Amino acid sequence: MAQTPQDLKVAILGAGMGGLTCALALAKEGFKHIDVYENAHDLGFVGAGIQLAPNMARVLDRLGVWKAIEAEAVNITSTSVRVGASDTELAHVPLDYIHETFGYPHMTGHRSSLANGLYQGCLKHPDQIRFHFATTASDVSFGPKSSFTATPRDTPEQSYRVEVDVLLACDGIKSQTRVTMLELLKIEAGVKDTQQSAYRIMIHKDQVKDDPELLELINGNRVSRWIGEKRHIIAYPVSNNTIYNLSTTQPDTHFAAATNATYTTRGDKSAMLDVFGDFCPMVQRMLNYVPDGEVCEWKLRVHEPLPTWVHETVALVGDACHPTLPHLNQGAAQAIEDGGVIGVVLSKLPDTTPASIHKALKVYEKVRKERAYTLVELAAASGRTLHLGDGAAKEERDRQFAAFRSGKGPVPDKWADADVQKMVYGVDTTQIALDRFDELFASA
């Protein structure tokens, strides 16, 4: 048995935001044996823009990596909700107050900058964190000592069994660990098809040097959302105002025959333009900057809430247990909150028995589960509101926007609502874990 919590052998499956944060948080707490298994040959640092909310920044700052990420980000000072067809503004919400209220600004950045910042933080602990790239993890076994088979992708015949004290499954929405856990516990909780998909587009500043209207958007500090029937586009500058990021959500019409394992498909530019064909000329110009042959469409899926995230000495993390729609911009932030809390609960173990490890992981679940699922549902609700079609429901939404403009009600876009922001940005889950560990551990 390990002498101290820091002597425990911890395996992390997946080097996404949750996995990297878990590794760094544990290293900061002095854990000596942290192994990260990642299917990809390297992190690649691809992806599109991402919103860097204060609740995310708070965790990253504690881990010593926020300043480098912040240096490449854009400080957002307002958001504008607009009619897609006319570009008429439905709501304008100043966001300057966020920094003073929550201790950190609301920023936007490139996903690669966030991932790289976390990865560089991990690389500062080479004696504690070891990365195993191009290695798949399968056949997870749950018990006092959890185990799995690690298979090098380039030499699959050299697969080997790994046994650890703690297994953290950060293996994403297609998590095989989750599937195995649910089968073992005889729990049915499948992936839910949202009937929505998304295009993600990045426009570089040099592409629009002759378009003053788009240059103003790239050089600005505003998040813009254009909404239409069952569709919307959210856009903002990233990478020190050198790139304009667009993310769309629209009805899914291209995945009907896809298997459950398929999440992306090669898109067609003309089809994308048709989807937003009734949006304003400026939006049309933005979408036209996407090169032919480089249109990808992502299927948006979530899965049913799970009754538990923990079995024996294994815990699910991030999208493996609470994938969310993008309408609150909290997917990565919630995975990062998971990692911050896991660092706390494992460091506060009173002993290193499997029973205590299980109870500590249940504390993580208690701190994070209700909050994560509340935000998952809020994101879905915001999407439903923004995507209303014609008729009485849309009229009611537009009435709510009008009431907001006259100071008589909340903004229907949940992400921009001050009360929602307080609930999302004002909660420090790492501090809750620190303050309430003994109480929650005793009742686990």
Here the tokens at position 140 are 């997870």
Task: State whether 180 and 239 are in the same domain.
Answer: no
Q: What CATH number is given to the structural domain containing 249? A: 3.30.9.30
Radius of gyration of the chain (CA): 22
Mean per-residue pLDDT of the chain: 91
Task: State whether 207 and 273 are in the same domain.
Answer: yes
Task: State whether 179 and 316 are in the same domain.
Answer: yes
pTM attached to this predicted model: 0.93
**Is 396 within the bounds of a domain?**
no
Q: Is the pLDDT of residue 415 over 90?
A: no
Confidence at residue 411, expressed as pLDDT on a 0 to 100 scale:
67
Lowest-confidence segment of 54-63, 110-119, 188-197, 302-311 by average pLDDT: 188-197
Domain span holding position 317: 5-72+110-190+304-387+417-443
Mean pLDDT of 60-76: 97
d(CA 34, CA 28): 11
Q: Is the pLDDT of residue 361 over 60?
A: yes
If one counts the domains in the chain, the total is: 2
> Which of 302, 321, 339 is at the close of a domain?
302
Contacts of 235 (CB under 8 A, 6+ apart): 217, 223, 224, 225, 226, 244, 245, 246, 247, 286
**Residue pLDDT, tens place only, 256-283:** 555 555 567 777 899 999 999 999 999 9
Confidence at residue 375, expressed as pLDDT on a 0 to 100 scale:
94
d(CA 403, CA 125): 53
Give Cα 90 to chain centroid, integer Å: 27
**Is 87 within the bounds of a domain?**
no
Q: Is the pLDDT of residue 350 over 90?
A: yes
Q: What CATH number is given to the structural domain containing 127? A: 3.50.50.60
Partners of residue 93 on adjacent β-strands: 79
Here the tokens at position 19 are 């996995």
Q: Is the pLDDT of residue 410 over 80?
A: no
Task: State whether 54 and 124 are in the same domain.
Answer: yes
Confidence category of residue 393, pLDDT binned at 50, 70, 90? low
**Is 213 within the bounds of a domain?**
yes
Mean pLDDT of 162-178: 96
- The listed range with the strongest mean pLDDT (228-232, 311-315, 396-400) is 311-315
Confidence at residue 182, expressed as pLDDT on a 0 to 100 scale:
96
Confidence at residue 391, expressed as pLDDT on a 0 to 100 scale:
55
> Which of 243, 276, 302 is at the close of a domain?
302
**Is 85 within the bounds of a domain?**
no
> Which of 302, 331, 365 is at the close of a domain?
302
